[in-house]
Amino acid sequence: MDISSLQAFIVVAETGSFSRASERIHITQPAVSKRIAALESELDTRLFDRIGRQITLTESGRTLLPRARHILLEIEDSRRMLRNLSEQVGGTLAIGTSHHIGLHHLPPVLRQFSARYPAVALDLHFMESEEACRAIHHGDLELGVITLPLAVDADLNITQLWPDPLAVVTGLAHPLAAHPATNLQSLLRHAAILPERGTYTRELIEKAIGKTIEVRMSTNYLETIKMLVSVGLGWSVLPRSMLTDELRVIEIEGLKMQRQLGVVRHARRTLSNAAKSMIAVLKSAE
């Protein structure tokens, strides 16, 4: 079974499009179609239904997809093991990280790593922490430097790097700034601006507060939340590292919140020498 055909099959399945698949793997659309046709011929079954411009997996395609991913991950794992024998630190290192960590924690780490290991090509992807964990599961990323999940995942190896204390904040023009709340009941009379549901940070906030929160707006960009709060549109919870004179901290009795930021990798896959070296640099920067 041809590896390039399996790669094309996976990307078409993920994108739902031959044209988008061709852009992702940098070959022409006819070349993608040829690889899929060859795979269907070899397996003697259709893998996609093509109705107009819509492309969907057949039952055979849905059955093959997880197995194809597993095959390619095993091949890549074997390649890493063999490359590691040379003890050289090079190649491409795919890392996922959030915009917040990319702005506030990674710059000195990346500077130090690039100076020490110039043969490594860093492939940096900015994404939500939850998306990074999914990409590590699928083998699209080797490392994630992210907000750590609250629940333990047996498939992920997690290393805590930076505690990230959080604070309830408002803008200076918000009613809470003039008459600060001291308990949850008075805080929750006002609408909040929070990260979207399903994010680790939103999960942590809701778990810590333990009551229904009226959420006026949601966005996953903490810098945007900070701006919306600063102009008085609601209260929020932000890292204390982001506090400035345009924000007022509201201390709520008995409420303490802290995220953990760190590095995540797949627990059962071989790390490249580049990934091992990056983890070492990250730990030294704690």
Structural domain of 127? 88-161+261-284
How far is Cα 99 from Cα 183, in angstroms, rounded to an integer? 32
Name the percent of the chain lying above pLDDT 70: 99
The answer to whether 55 touches 16, Cβ cutoff 8 Å, is: yes
The answer to whether 247 touches 138, Cβ cutoff 8 Å, is: no
Question: Do 269 and 238 sit in the same domain of this protein?
Answer: no
Please report the sign of the dihedral spanned by the C-alpha atoms of residue 197, residue 180, residue 225, residue 238: negative
The answer to whether 95 touches 164, Cβ cutoff 8 Å, is: no
Reading phi first (left if > 0) and then psi (alpha if -120 to 50, else beta), residue 253 is in: beta
Question: Do 224 and 152 sit in the same domain of this protein?
Answer: no
Give the number of other CB atoms < 10 A from CB of residue 270. Answer: 17
For the ranges 31-45, 69-83, 181-195, 246-260, the lowest mean pLDDT is seen at 69-83
* pLDDT at residue number 285: 79
The answer to whether 166 touches 247, Cβ cutoff 8 Å, is: no
pLDDT higher than threshold 80 for residue 255:
yes
Q: Which two tokens stand for residue 251?
A: 């201390």
* pLDDT at residue number 276: 94
Residue 83: pLDDT band (50, 70, 90) is confident
**Last residue of one domain, picked from the residues 83, 101, 116:** 83
Residue 117: pLDDT band (50, 70, 90) is very high
Beta strands at 156-171 and 257-266: parallel, antiparallel or unpaired = antiparallel
Question: Do 192 and 206 sit in the same domain of this protein?
Answer: yes
Question: Do 56 and 187 sit in the same domain of this protein?
Answer: no
What is the C-alpha R_g of the chain? 23
Q: Residue 50: helix, strand or coil by DSSP? A: strand
* pLDDT at residue number 26: 87
pLDDT higher than threshold 80 for residue 194:
yes
Question: Do 32 and 148 sit in the same domain of this protein?
Answer: no
Residue 50: pLDDT band (50, 70, 90) is confident
Instruction: Find the Cα–Cα–Cα–Cα dihedral 235, 237, 241, 247, rounded to 10°.
Output: 10
* pLDDT at residue number 86: 72
pLDDT higher than threshold 70 for residue 252:
yes
Question: Do 110 and 138 sit in the same domain of this protein?
Answer: yes
Question: Do 206 and 73 sit in the same domain of this protein?
Answer: no
pLDDT digits (tens, 9 = 90+) for 59-76: 999 999 999 988 888 888
On the CB side of 79, CA atoms within 13 Å amount to 8
Spatial CA neighbour of 258 closest among 221, 207, 223: 207
* pLDDT at residue number 286: 62
Question: Do 156 and 267 sit in the same domain of this protein?
Answer: yes
* pLDDT at residue number 270: 85
Spatial CA neighbour of 281 closest among 144, 88, 109: 109
How far is Cα 42 from Cα 56, in angstroms, rounded to an integer? 20
* pLDDT at residue number 78: 83
* pLDDT at residue number 259: 96
Question: Do 167 and 251 sit in the same domain of this protein?
Answer: yes
**Last residue of one domain, picked from the residues 83, 113, 132:** 83
CATH number of the domain to which 189 belongs = 3.40.190.290
pLDDT higher than threshold 90 for residue 188:
yes
Count of structural domains within the chain: 3
| Contacts of residue 37, Cβ cutoff 8 Å, sequence gap at least 6 | none
On the CB side of 219, CA atoms within 13 Å amount to 13
CATH number of the domain to which 97 belongs = 3.40.190.10
Question: Do 265 and 151 sit in the same domain of this protein?
Answer: yes
Question: Do 61 and 196 sit in the same domain of this protein?
Answer: no
For the ranges 70-74, 161-165, 265-269, the lowest mean pLDDT is seen at 70-74
Question: Do 266 and 137 sit in the same domain of this protein?
Answer: yes
pTM above 0.85, yes or no: no
| Contacts of residue 227, Cβ cutoff 8 Å, sequence gap at least 6 | none
